[in-house]
């Protein structure tokens, strides 16, 4: 029940790990050709899952690296030097924007009270000084979601670009980046995508030619594989690449992604809502306070519960092989492979541990 933190990697990954070892053991220099095919296949599979065209998405080790790379594409000159964001971001987001303060970026943080986004307050802060709006699709802390179609339309009317951290939603909530017209979407494999060690960045294809990252690397160049210095950019989202990639993480993550894509995100979302709905009902019946929004359209894949001595309860549950995470609240994030019966097993165990 820990997918908002670290999702389960399917057993098929064992085969990929074994093959990778064989590749290393019997090394040949042209291994890289196959690895590039695998890297591109994974990037295009993530793209397909979020309604993006092939070639519009790049992968790297983590979201922080990719966010900083996107941030390095802009000149933060007044009057448009502001980055509107919220206080419900994953900690990497404020850290990166504060660091870019050195180059003139001014983070404009909308306060939320710690659980729910105030969409009106957020939109009221977007004006002719706003260069970027950088928000999550769903909060890692509370599971509350933002109405992205409304936000993107509002930001674009004001001439601002929208960067979305969708780490907590891609794989469990439907997201069609093309229909949405959003500018940049970031996410990663190791939660709801049942992968490991890789993150992604989608950039709206008609925006891509206008963005030139200063934080870059040779793989972003137009003649990278000739091993001469490039003078131009690679085609498509490859311009947001860095240095030598680590293919293993894409190859392993492909296994989980293929399983999820086979089920389809709308079906995953229906099952997720049924599971989180059951958690909410059972919590209400047991007198456990639910922190996350209870309205289906507002909640992401996680339910946060306010449990006394929650961190110790989490540890006692883990000793019973019942896994969730604790970040001030107990965070319970079932995925498509969890059953409603398992949700009941979880809630029975939780109620017992609280009573202890």
Ligand X SMILES: Cc1ncc(COP(=O)(O)O)c(C=O)c1O
**What does the binding site for ligand X look like in residue numbers (CB under 6 A)?**
62-64, 90, 92, 136, 140, 165, 167-168, 188, 199
The minimum distance between CB 354 and ligand X, in angstroms, equals: 26
What residues pair up with 182 in beta bridges, in sequence order? Answer: none
Nearer to ligand X, 64 or 142 (CB): 64
User: In this structure, what is the dihedral angle of CA atoms 180, 184, 187, 192, given to the nearest 10 degrees?
Assistant: 0
The minimum distance between CB 156 and ligand X, in angstroms, equals: 23
Report angle CA 171, 117, 62 to the nearest 5 degrees. Answer: 40
The minimum distance between CB 199 and ligand X, in angstroms, equals: 5
3-state secondary structure 276-328: HHHHHHHHHHHCCEECCCCCCCCECCCEEEECCCHHHHHHHHHHCCCCCEECC
CB atoms within 10 A of CB 178: 15
> Do the beta carbons of residue 316 and residue 353 sit within 8 Å?
yes
- 3-state class (DSSP) for residue 163: strand
Nearer to ligand X, 237 or 354 (CB): 237
Nearer to ligand X, 199 or 288 (CB): 199
The minimum distance between CB 335 and ligand X, in angstroms, equals: 15
The minimum distance between CB 113 and ligand X, in angstroms, equals: 18
Nearer to ligand X, 134 or 347 (CB): 134
Nearer to ligand X, 233 or 240 (CB): 240
Pull the structure tokens for residue 270.
Answer: 């229906």
Nearer to ligand X, 86 or 130 (CB): 86
The minimum distance between CB 303 and ligand X, in angstroms, equals: 15
> Do the beta carbons of residue 88 and residue 94 sit within 8 Å?
no
Nearer to ligand X, 168 or 254 (CB): 168
Q: Cα–Cα distance between 20 and 14 in angstroms, integer? A: 10
How are beta strands 325-326 and 57-60 bridged, if at all? unpaired
The minimum distance between CB 352 and ligand X, in angstroms, equals: 29
């Amino acid at each position: 029940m820990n997918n908002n933190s670290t999702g389960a990697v399917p057993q098929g990954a064992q085969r990929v790990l074994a093959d990778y070892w064989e590749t290393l053991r019997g090394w040949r220099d042209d291994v890289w050709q196959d690895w590039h095919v695998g890297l591109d296949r994974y990037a295009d599979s993530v793209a397909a899952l979020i309604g993006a065209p092939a070639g519009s998405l790049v992968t790297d080790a983590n979201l922080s690296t990719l966010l900083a790379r996107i941030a390095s594409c802009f000149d933060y000159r007044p009057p448009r030097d502001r980055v509107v964001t919220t206080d419900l971001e994953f900690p990497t987001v404020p850290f990166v924007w504060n660091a870019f303060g050195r180059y003139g970026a001014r983070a404009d943080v909308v306060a939320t009270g710690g659980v729910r986004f105030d969409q009106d307050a957020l939109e009221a802060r977007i004006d002719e000084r706003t260069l970027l709006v950088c928000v999550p699709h769903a909060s890692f802390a509370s599971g509350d979601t933002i109405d992205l179609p409304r936000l993107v339309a509002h930001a674009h009317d004001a001439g601002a670009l929208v960067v979305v951290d969708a780490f907590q939603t891609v794989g469990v909530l439907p997201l069609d980046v093309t229909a949405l017209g959003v500018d940049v979407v970031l996410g990663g494999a190791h939660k709801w995508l049942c992968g490991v060690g890789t993150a992604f960045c989608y950039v709206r294809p008609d925006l891509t030619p206008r963005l030139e990252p200063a934080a870059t690397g040779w793989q972003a160049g137009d003649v990278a594989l000739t091993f001469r210095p490039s003078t131009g950019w690679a085609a498509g989202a490859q311009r947001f690449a860095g240095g030598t990639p680590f293919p293993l993480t894409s190859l392993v993550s492909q296994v989980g992604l293929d399983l999820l894509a086979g089920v389809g995100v709308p079906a995953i979302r229906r099952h997720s809502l049924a599971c989180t709905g059951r958690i909410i009902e059972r919590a209400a019946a047991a007198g456990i306070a639910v922190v996350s929004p209870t309205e289906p359209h507002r909640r992401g894949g996680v339910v946060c519960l306010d449990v006394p001595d929650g961190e110790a309860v989490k540890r006692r549950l883990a000793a019973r092989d019942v896994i969730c995470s604790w970040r001030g609240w107990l965070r319970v994030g079932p995925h498509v492979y969890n059953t409603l019966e398992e949700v009941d097993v979880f809630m029975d165990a939780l109620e017992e541990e609280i009573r202890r």
